[in-house]
Structure 1
Amino acid sequence: MSDILCGPGGGADDFFGLRVASIFIILIGSCMGALFPVLAKRSSWLHVPKAIFDFAKYFGSGVIIATAFIHLLSPGLDALSSPCLSPGWSDYPYALALCMLSIFSIFVVELVAFRWGTAKLQKIGIHHDHHGHELGGHAAHGPEGVYTQGTGPAGITELKVTDQNRMSTSSNGEEGGNTHDHAHAHNSVIDNAAAQIIGVAILEFGVALHSTLIGLTLAVDPVFKVLFAVLIFHQTFEGLGIGSRLAYVRLPAKYNWVPIAGALLYGITTPVGIAVGLGVRSTYNPGSTTASIVSGVLDSLSSGILIYTGLVELLAHEFLFNKEMMDGSNTKIAYALSSMLMGCAIMALLGRWA
């Protein structure tokens, strides 16, 4: 292997004007994809049918899952098996191990967070369904409700689900409860908001790492024109996936800025990566030993984040644990599945070039 291939030498420097323009073109595409679902959901004059929002949401879930496997895990495997790396890197599937480590890390963090949150709610008298926190408009972790014990037929003890949205009832049968009940409800809303923000932050973190790395690559890649064309669609579709999740996050009024900030953060990550890449183009070689290790490790860790989020938070909880979906018609389920598979298929196809 030569120093030109594996050393710190610079990347391609042709089409410099177009590479600079790509910063603004991809910025517009990324922001439009991410912001449109968020702003359209809040707009009072732009009446977007619910079916369109559902399409965007499920399409976005498919995009996120395909991004995890095709655009993150596969490049991570390639980078950590580069001939520029020492032979020790080929003795073990480090990319898969890092992906697995990321999945279990996110799982453990979420498990600890929800055990702590549930214990905190129980101390103030709220029996919180640990499946009830949301990452969208529907229950992302199962049917919303509070589980209470009751006696069924033949004296068998059974669990009953009470709607969380129903007002509390005092012992004398009057609705409304007291100030203490409202304080409990307020604390529950705060914990629910925190759970949603954490979920969105985890998703954003994985996507942001990926977007920054592909921006760096685009800035110096010799096959610029093909990669640039593909990334316009890639970032727009991925932005649609992120935006559709952000649009369905329900937060207290003081947190209304979070979805917009999340969409804008996604929109600027790839342009920032391109700008940094152009700034260091004389010394940055994406195929170098150091770059291969860094990008391989980050891609592998990011793939675990998106695999967990896509399969557990989005796919399983939007379908298997969503009461509205399980009680819905076959047509509704078919529409949701078709939308998700379409997003997955298009994003996977784009992996042929980028």
Structure 2
Amino acid sequence: MSSISESGLDAASDVNCGSGGGSDTYFGLRVASIFIIGFGSTAGALFPVLAKRTKYLQVPKCIFDFAKFFGSGVIIATAFIHLLSPALEALESECLSPAWGDYPYALALCLLSIFSIFIVELIAFRWGTAKLAKIGAHHDAHGHDVGSHAAHGPESNVMVDDASLEKDVEKSGSGNTHKHHLADSALAQIVGVAILEFGVALHSVLIGLTLAVDEEFKVLFVVLVFHQTFEGLGLGTRLAYMRLPQKYNFIPILGALVCGLTTPVGIAVGLGVRTTYNPGTATASIVSGVLDSLSAGILIYTGLVELLAHEFIFNKEMMESSNGKLAYSVGSMLLGCGLMALLGRWA
């Protein structure tokens, strides 16, 4: 009986709930991680965007498809393994008051995030559909048209629709209707990708803070190099397939650069407050748990609804494709999901 109580006291003593700072070892390498991880995540996010736009980088379509579906798997695994699980752990910390253990707050916040995104999109697209109807433009609720979830739906259909719209404009002279249609298409794409990037950015800043002060720095550092590169690739392929008017062409590049900067910013901030910031304190646990829960909801909704449903179930091109192409796409997605889930073993 005494041995059990002693082991319990030892375990409790290992929990640092004080206000002291985090680990300060390997300071030079922690500073270098700002640039190394920044380069990896920026390259992962920016390469698909540049490869899609330039003729000098002749990337085969099968490679782009692999990157796109691999990225979808990465995003879904990130939501469950790298966000929801740490959120549950943070909000069940021994440093928090017992009241936090009376209810699964992390799951409730995740659920709140999912339904908040759903309601916002529902209202936005009902408004958008009504607006398009007034100007005589067609809107496909399943994402098969440029006026809907064009950032996540079948890109080839989007290109065909744009081309046919251009021809219709030349024949009928209805340039104003076409402009309204493309403007709604651009807005839908920007909103969809912005929601995805917001969830990724919150997560990236938090893991950057953790890396800056974590005692297990070396292991976490190696894992995060791959983690952020994969995550950047997942977001970058979404950015690369955006079909925007000429004046908005800078948005995919801007999105890729922002993605690459989020983790380095988190690391830099963490290093700046390393003498006072302790990720184990009650306040830090609550903040990280709440933000991770909300981010998890965003990525779960985006991954399952926008990526899986619109790219497979509601994608006519995919449903009518050969078994080989379907297997290749699903296999690429499962590979991304599996590798990202495996990285959760260490980070």
**Scaled by the length of structure 2, what TM-score is found?**
0.91
- Is 2:163 aligned against 1:178? no
- Corresponding residue number in structure 2 for 1:247: 240
What is the correspondence of 1:66-105 to structure 2 with a 5 Å cutoff? Answer: 66-105=77-116
- Corresponding residue number in structure 2 for 1:118: 129
- Corresponding residue number in structure 2 for 1:227: 220
Distance 1:293 1:327, change over 3 A: same
Alpha-carbon shift at residue 139 of structure 1 (Å): 3.0
Distance 1:20 1:163, change over 3 A: closer
Q: Secondary structure at the match of 1:6?
A: coil
- Is 2:304 aligned against 1:311? yes
User: Aligned partners of 2:288, 2:218: CA distance in 1, in Å?
Assistant: 22
User: Aligned partners of 2:293, 2:215: CA distance in 1, in Å?
Assistant: 24
User: Aligned partners of 2:264, 2:250: CA distance in 1, in Å?
Assistant: 22
- Corresponding residue number in structure 1 for 2:154: 139
More helix by share: 2
- Corresponding residue number in structure 1 for 2:4: none
- Is 2:48 aligned against 1:37? yes
Distance 1:235 1:168, change over 3 A: closer
User: Aligned partners of 2:158, 2:122: CA distance in 1, in Å?
Assistant: 19
Distance 1:137 1:116, change over 3 A: closer
Tell me which amino acid in the other structure corresponds to 2:28. G
Tell me which amino acid in the other structure corresponds to 1:286. P
Structure 2: gaps of 5 or more residues: 1-11
Alpha-carbon shift at residue 168 of structure 1 (Å): 8.8
Distance 1:206 1:167, change over 3 A: closer
What is the correspondence of 1:1-354 to structure 2 with a 5 Å cutoff? Answer: 5-131=16-142, 132=145, 133-136=148-151, 138-139=153-154, 165-167=163-165, 176-179=170-173, 181-354=174-347
Alpha-carbon shift at residue 319 of structure 1 (Å): 0.3
User: Aligned partners of 1:169, 1:241: CA distance in 2, in Å?
Assistant: 33
Percent identity for Structure 1 against Structure 2: 70
User: Aligned partners of 1:169, 1:280: CA distance in 2, in Å?
Assistant: 58
Distance 1:312 1:143, change over 3 A: farther
- Confirm or deny: 8 A CA contact 2:165 2:178 kept in the other structure: no
Aligned residues: 332
User: Aligned partners of 2:136, 2:224: CA distance in 1, in Å?
Assistant: 50
Tell me which amino acid in the other structure corresponds to 1:139. P
- Corresponding residue number in structure 2 for 1:151: none
Alpha-carbon shift at residue 182 of structure 1 (Å): 1.9
Alpha-carbon shift at residue 137 of structure 1 (Å): 7.4
RMSD over aligned Cα, in angstroms? 2.1
Distance 1:163 1:222, change over 3 A: closer
Structure 1: gaps of 5 or more residues: 146-161
Which string of whole-angstrom CA distances, capped at 9 and with x for unpartnered residues, describes residues 305-326 of structure 1? 0000000000111001111101
Tell me which amino acid in the other structure corresponds to 1:187. H
Which string of whole-angstrom CA distances, capped at 9 and with x for unpartnered residues, describes residues 280-322 of structure 1? 0000000100000000000000000000000000011100111
Which string of whole-angstrom CA distances, capped at 9 and with x for unpartnered residues, describes residues 46-85 of structure 1? 1100000000000000000000000000000000000100
Higher alpha-carbon deviation: 212-221 or 36-45: 36-45
Alpha-carbon shift at residue 270 of structure 1 (Å): 0.3
Alpha-carbon shift at residue 125 of structure 1 (Å): 2.1
Alpha-carbon shift at residue 3 of structure 1 (Å): 11
Distance 1:280 1:232, change over 3 A: same
- Confirm or deny: 8 A CA contact 2:318 2:326 kept in the other structure: yes
Which string of whole-angstrom CA distances, capped at 9 and with x for unpartnered residues, describes residues 310-352 of structure 1? 0000011100111110110000000000000000000000000
Q: Secondary structure at the match of 2:321?
A: coil
